[in-house]
A and B are shown apart, each in its own frame.
Chain A
Amino acid sequence: MYYAVNLKKISGDLKFFLFYQHILMNEEENIGFSITSDYDSITTEEVFKPLLKVLMAYSHKLIGNGTLRLTKNRDELAYDFSMEAIQRYLENPDKFDPSRNSDLVKYLKFNILKRLISNFKELKGQQNECIFEDDDSIGMSVSKSFIKENDVHDLIDLENIIQQIQKELIDNPILLSLFNLRYISDYTRAEVCTELEISNGEYNNRIRRLDTVLNRVKKNQQI
Chain B
Amino acid sequence: MGATPEIALPPAAVEELIQALAKGLRAHQLYLPNNPVYQRALETLRAAFKPIWEAGDELVLDVVEHEFRWEGSVVYSQPNRNESLAWVFFKDGVRSLTLLPGVEQDEIVGLLDVVHRARTLQPEDNDDLLTLLWEKDFQLIRYVFQDLASSEAGGMPIPSSDEVAVSAGQPRQVGYAVEEEAPTRAGVVRADDFDSTLYFLDEKEVAYLRDEVEREYATDLRRNVLAMLFDVLEQQPYPTVRAELISIFESFLPYLLGAGDFLAVAYVLREVRVVLQRAGELLPEQRKALEDLPGRLSQPEPLSQLLQSLDEAAAHPSADELGELFGELRTEALPTLLAWMPKLTNERVREVLEQALQRLAVANVPELINAVTGTDPMMALEAVKLAGRLRLKQVVAALSQVLGHEETAIRVAAVQALSNLTVPGALQALEKALDDPDRDVRLSTVRVMMQRKHKGALPKITAAVQGKSVREADLTEKMAFFEAYGSLVGEEGVAGLDAMLNAGGFLKRKEDPETRACAALALGKIASPAAREALERATGAKEALVRNAVSRALRGPGGELG
> Are A and B interaction partners?
no
